[in-house]
Amino acid sequence: MIRALFLLYLTGMVTLHGFAADEPAATATAPLPDELIELKGKYDEAMAGANAPLIQLKESYASRLQLLKDEEQEKGNLEGVVLIQKEMERLKTEDPDSGSPFEPLRNLQSVYHKYAGPAAERTFPDRVRVEDAYVGALNDLVAQFTKDGELESAIAAREVLKNSELRLVEWKRLAALGMTSGNPFEVLDWTKLAQLISEKRLSNTDGFGPLGADPASFTRDLPEQTALLVGFDLYLNPYGDSDETVRRIIPLFQTESGNTFEGIPRANAQKGDRKRVIAKKGYVVSGVETFSEAGIRKMKITFQRISGLRTTDRDSYDSGWIGKWEGGQAASMTTGGRLPVGVDGFIGLGIGETQLIVVDP
């Protein structure tokens, strides 16, 4: 125990940012033992040092908010002051919001989220080191309490240990990914993304669905508003011997503020039963697999997490197969880690060859 406590003290590094410690509170019958309280204090002190980059960034953001509020108050801008005040209240318990309708505040939010991702990345190795030392110290403490016959204290320390072990798993996962789990688009520079699109730094992926359509017959869907492709609405209808095949899809796009809107339907078939497949926060469409016979019959969508102006294949998941069909022409495509911002392809009665439009950073 002395060894682990010494390690914690040496970090010279306080409360967790965005990840509650969840330690058990003392009760009237079983207060936390002094040794556990002392260890927890050392842990909080060390973790505060680990989180210093994020804490400093948040403090800087709060100062900028106050300056902006003072400026707008001086102008007599009630609407702006109210929005800024709401953001200041939010900051007491949560990370900053994004996409404010008030442009000066929206710009300030964008700057924060631009730097929050890299700041969080710098904290992960130290978080792992501190949490690992804490787990070691808690294990020592549980063993010592048990040897001394202080069973209530041992049980209390074991509960704290369980929470610490869960956090350690999370810190290691995030350290391996090299990204944060906060705001879904916090490491994405939307201004740069819009610039790349305006400069036509775009290309089409390989196609999915029934391949071989004439590109001259393609219908291109690149939204005027900067947005990312985050999923599809799939419409299922009977076809042939199957009572559930994919007959129509509609792209789903999402803006920086989180607004989701539909793109151009990729088939003229009747809608049927809708199944919405949309990415988790912070993820985008990164690949599609299909089986086709006179149109797509079943498909699977893969999502990857956003990392800067690309996506990372180290954090992905898929929808599983949607639609029931055996055989047919297989096709698959990936974005190659590039961000998807549009859809291109042939639109017929059913879904024809379809490609994604991606940004080349």
Query: pLDDT tens digits, residue range 52-103?
Result: 888 888 899 999 999 999 999 999 999 999 999 999 998 888 888 877 889 8
pLDDT tens column, 1-19? 444 443 444 443 333 333 4
Quick one: pLDDT at residue 13?
Answer: 38
Amino acid, res. 159: E
Instruction: List for the chain the helix, strand, coil content (%; round to 5).
Output: 40, 25, 35
Mean pLDDT over the full length of the chain: 84
Q: Is the pLDDT of residue 299 over 60?
A: yes
Average of per-residue pLDDT across 193-197: 93
pLDDT tens column, 318-349? 999 998 888 888 888 999 999 999 999 998 88
Which one, of 344, 300, 341, 301, lies nearest residue 323 by Cα?
A: 300
Quick one: pLDDT at residue 154?
Answer: 92
Q: Is the pLDDT of residue 358 over 80?
A: yes
* Whole-number Å distance between alpha carbons of 318 and 156: 40
Average of per-residue pLDDT across 220-226: 93
Instruction: Identify the weakest region by mean pLDDT among 7-16, 137-146, 157-166, 265-274.
Output: 7-16
Structural domains of the chain ordered from first start: 2-177 (no CATH), 190-359 (2.100.10.30)
CA atoms within 13 A on the CB side of 247: 18
Provide DSSP, 183-236.
STTTT--HHHHHHHHHTT-EEE---BSS----GGG---B--SS--EEEEEEEEE
Which one, of 40, 57, 186, lies nearest residue 123 by Cα?
A: 57
Model pTM greater than 0.75? Answer: no
Burial class for 89, CB neighbours closer than 10 Å (0-12, 13-18, 19+): exposed
